[in-house]
Amino acid sequence: MGDVLRQLELNKLARILAVEPSSLDVLLASDPDDIRELRTIVTERLFSLHGGRVAALAQLSKKVPAAISAKMAEAAFGPVLSARIAGALDPADAAKMSALLSPEFLAQVSRDVDPARVASIIKLLPDDLIIKVGRILLREHDTIALARFVASVSPAVVTAVLEGADGNELLELALYVDDRAALDSIIAEFSDERLSAVLAATKGFHGATDKEMADAAVALVAALTPATRARWSTFADQAPPAVAKAVTAAVAASR
């Protein structure tokens, strides 16, 4: 496996393009930030395609009762098209319709929606619905989809969704999150056992070397507040020596 941060960025780009990550191996020599920028450009392009048709469908949805719009979304539009339409809907109308959709369908939609375009909708959704959808994604080990919404919901909701997550899932989720500053308030709520489990998960993570995981762990630590960094570093001995040394050094250097 190449650099783990590059690979994770390629995995996210592959999700947007609906291709296998291996088909993007030509980009393994690229900087992770460049891959991220490419993903942003691709996302913008995908969501601007057929803008007129999407807007027309959004207008159509407004002309019928929310229950009918929900039926149309699940039976006729499907999750991908519904994800495109969501960003063109009035937030209040979209939230009302979402409450009538099954959590299973919303989980499918969340894989293709652009969180930035639906942030105002998410704010209007009840926490229990978001938690149900999140737990479906977690059950299906879809940490890419989960990671995209960490910055869009409250830490309490994220904590509830991750209640049953193991150390490997927590580490994978954290590494997939774009806005890593949003992780601090979540990690601060982790028990000592959970913090230990996350650091222990760096050993052999997806076949990455200890050096690669040391770099990835340092990237995570850099986004945290001094207090959270310091607490996390107390469990560094749960990680392989190279990771533990890098995390400890990064925390010491940030003081």
Task: Give residue-wise pLDDT tens across range 233-248.
Answer: 899 999 999 999 999 9
Phi and psi of 153, rounded to 5°? Answer: -125, 170
Instruction: Give the pLDDT of residue 50.
Output: 53
Residue 15 pLDDT grade (very low, low, confident, very high; cuts 50, 70, 90): very high
- Whole-structure pTM value: 0.86
Mean pLDDT in residue range 108-112? 91
Q: What is the mean pLDDT of the chain?
A: 88
* pLDDT tops 60 at residue 13: yes
Of 61-65, 144-148, 158-162, 195-199, give the lowest mean pLDDT range.
Answer: 61-65
Share of the chain above pLDDT 70, in %: 93
Q: Could you give the C-alpha distances from 224 to 2, 20, 162, 205, in angstroms and in order?
A: 25, 32, 19, 21
3-state secondary structure of 39: helix
Instruction: Give the pLDDT of residue 44.
Output: 85
Q: How many CA atoms lie within 13 A of 137 on its CB side?
A: 28
- pLDDT tens sequence across 80-100: 888 888 877 888 888 888 888
Share of the chain above pLDDT 90, in %: 53
Tell me the residue type at 71.
K
- All structural domains of the chain with their residue ranges: 165-255
CB atoms within 10 A of CB 198: 27
